[in-house]
Amino acid sequence: MFAPLSVYFNWSNGIDLLVSFIIGIGFGFALEQGGFGNSRKLAMQFYFRDLTVLKVMFSAMVTAMTGIVFFTAFGWLDTNSMFIPQTFIWAQILGCAIMGVGFAIGGYCPGTSFVGLSTLKMDALFFIIGLFIGVFLFGEMFPILEELYHGKYSGNMGRITLYEFLGVRPGIIAAIILIMAIGAFWGSEKIEEKFGNQIIQ
Amino acid sequence: MKLENKQIAVYTAILLAIIMLFLPGPDPSKVNLDLQLMAQIIGNKEDHVTPGELSQWIIAGNNDYQLIDIRSKDEYDKGHIEGAINIPIENLLHKNVITDELNHDKKIVIYSNGSSHASQAWVVLKGLGLDCYILEGGYNGWNAAVLNPAVPSATTDDEILLYAKQKAVAEYFGGSNIQVQKPANNAAPVAPQKPQGVKKKKMQGC
């Protein structure tokens, strides 16, 4: 067993951040090359004209998931040492809804807005300013939101994964999600064929 | 037949999905010590239950916990707490005992004679992700606090009431040396027992 590397080599925070930075640059570069720095392309998904975002993000997820399942089975990876954020089901549903609205309005999600800024896109800059205003407002309103954030209305389920929740082996969930991904790719190509050439008024 | 890239990708994904169906998950006997979390639990005193709490659970007939006696079989046969099952500590930390005999959905309360063996086992079981607690003071503490409650030296109504309650609990568990002496006598207790509150503090930790 040698992974996660940061746990097994006991990296300091500095090394951790440096490695994260390098991986982040790689991820950002891949997103930029995929056209994710362009808010128009990103927004197209909400009109079913270009579902690249769904395909890329779903591919990234199933690739990582497949790797984790295989590495765990080979005994290379200790999933207990991996960082898995806690699940706060109600807080996360609300947060995701807010993020979705922001994505549809702004044309970016937080990650892609920085990709957009890297090629000096003005709309990305405004999106990031909005992002920081949101962070500031959240901080100021935190006392009101605390119960929802991690209190009794947050739906705290602790550090839990789908396979633990359902009490099955991780591979079973992973296989189902992989088949779902294939279905989603097939479905999005069909949708693109149907709506791809429509002109938005 | 020549395959397109897309077809190759789909077939590969389906093949991987089929293989994953049969892959084993993480090793359940892998100990993962989250030191910060454990320190927090110990600091908040969420690592143990008191004899008083346990006796209430037993009397109330709670079934959300599993009581494990980790002493030797001889000692268990001589006397144990009602409802306890005997898994000597040298057997407790075996992989199949942990996966098969310990109930991962319930609170697990472990006790030894004192606290040290139970504390050692607690660290391991907690590291395995079990909801584990030590019986404060161990079996000795149980005997002292539950079976032979101390006679209060003062005679306030509250203390008499508390003593009557403790005595009832002791009788429930068949305590042998129940002091029938009335608290109103105000004489020194026959056995040199300290009030429960003091005892509690003394028995904390390993």
Cross-chain residue pair A182–B13, CB shorter than 8 Å: yes
**pLDDT of res. B28:** 65
Spatial separation of the C-alpha atoms in residues A36 and A45, rounded to whole Å: 12
Residue A181 has pLDDT above 90, yes or no: yes
Residue A201 placed within a domain: no
Map residue B27 onto helix, strand or coil. Answer: coil
Residue A41 placed within a domain: yes
Burial of A197 per CB tally in 10 Å (0-12, 13-18, 19+): exposed
Position of tokens 């994260």? Answer: A20
ipTM of the complex: 0.75
List pLDDT tens digits, range A48-60: 888 888 888 899 8
Give me the residue from A66, A79, A181 closest to B26, CB to CB.
A79
List pLDDT tens digits, range A26-78: 999 988 988 899 988 888 888 888 888 888 889 989 999 999 999 988 888 88
Run of H or E including B65: strand B65-69
Residue A200 placed within a domain: no
Q: Whole-model pTM above 0.90?
A: no
Spatial separation of the C-alpha atoms in residues B14 and B3, rounded to whole Å: 15
Spatial separation of the C-alpha atoms in residues B185 and A139, rounded to whole Å: 63
Give me the residue from B20, B22, B26 closest to A80, CB to CB.
B26
Residue B187 has pLDDT above 70, yes or no: no
What fold characterizes domain B32-206? Oxidized Rhodanese; domain 1 (3.40.250)
Residue A180 placed within a domain: yes
Give the closest residue to B14 by CA, choosing from A174, A175, A184, A69: A175
Q: Which domain holds residue A60?
A: 5-195
pLDDT grade for B182, boundaries at 50, 70 and 90: very low
List pLDDT tens digits, range B54-101: 888 888 888 888 899 988 888 888 888 888 888 888 888 777 777 778
Residue A169 placed within a domain: yes
Q: How much is the average pLDDT of B22-38?
A: 76
Contact A80, B34 (CB under 8 A): no
Between B32 and B14, where is the model more confident? B14
Minimal CA separation from A169 to chain B, in Å: 5
Q: Where are the domains of chain B?
A: 32-206
- Total count of domains within chain A: 1
Q: What is the average pLDDT score of chain B?
A: 77
Q: What is the average pLDDT score of chain A?
A: 88
Chain B partners of A171 at a C-beta cutoff of 8 Å?
20-25
Contact A148, A32 (CB under 8 A): no
Q: Among A20-24, B38-42, B171-175, where is mean pLDDT lowest?
A: B171-175
Residue A122 placed within a domain: yes
